[in-house]
Structure 1
Amino acid sequence: MTKYIDAENLINELSAACMPIYEKGITGILGDNSSIADIINEQPTADVQEVKHGYWKSQKQSGFYRLADYECSICGYDNDETPDYCAFCGAKMEGFDD
């Protein structure tokens, strides 16, 4: 599973660990007997969500009833407008079908 960390927090932790990083290397022992790898692995994870990418699909007329002009390619949500994100599933919309 991918682990997302706060890079600024990591830099601060490593800077405070007594010896410069370039002198110890990635597995070197720092002043408090922690390795750089230990510090990286102990970083709190960020609360992130993977971005879904979709596009707006044109709808066709159906009998006497008009469907919405566009449909989300991810969830099928109908919409007459084309915002940058789908209001139903949150997908980032990247254009239109051809």
Structure 2
Amino acid sequence: MTKYIDADNLINELSAACMPIYKKGITGILGDNSSIADIINEQPTADVQEARHGKWESTELMYENGCTRCSECKTEYYASDLEEICGDTFPIYCPLCGARMD
């Protein structure tokens, strides 16, 4: 599985770890912290999007018309439409914005 890291934090940690070696006059991949930073920065980046989390909220129309609303995008849905999409239960994701319903 792909791991996503904070590259700037890693560079700072490696720089701190390599500085004592560099001060002793040792160079190369272990001693030259700029070469490590270059290697990290040259790596391809992933298109990562932060996960959105929401919940199904009650609306004024919920009791009259069976409506519910996504807490993230505020889109209202008829419960019957959601049941048609996902079966007997409410979906675990909002059909519009993709927020995961916790």
Q: TM-score, normalised to structure 2's length?
A: 0.52
* Contact 1:60/1:67 (8 A) holds in 2: no
1:73 maps to which of 71, 74, 77: 71
User: Identity percentage over the alignment?
Assistant: 45
SS of the residue corresponding to residue 85 of structure 1 reads coil
Q: If each structure's helix is expressed as a fraction of its own residues, which one has the higher value?
A: 2
Specify the alignment match of 1:45 in structure 2: 45
Unpaired segments ≥5 residues, structure 2: 4-16, 83-89
Specify the alignment match of 1:55 in structure 2: 55
Deviations 1:1-55 (A, max 9, x none): xxxxx65xxxxxxxxxxxxxxxx93886329x87111111111100111211111
Q: Distance in 2 between matches of 1:61 and 1:41?
A: 52
Unpaired segments ≥5 residues, structure 1: 1-5, 8-23
CA RMSD of aligned residues (A): 3.2
Equivalent pairs counted in the alignment come to 70
- Pairing 1:1-98 to 2, within 5 Å after superposition: 7=3, 25=18, 29-30=28-29, 35-61=35-61, 66-68=65-67, 70-79=68-77, 80=79, 81=82, 82-94=90-102
Q: Distance in 1 between matches of 2:55 and 2:61?
A: 19
SS of the residue corresponding to residue 39 of structure 2 reads helix
Amino acid aligned to 1:35: S
Deviation at 1:87, TM superposition (A): 0.4
Deviation at 1:67, TM superposition (A): 4.8
Higher relative contact order (CA 8 A, sep 6+): 1
Runs of 4+ in structure 1 over 4 Å off = none
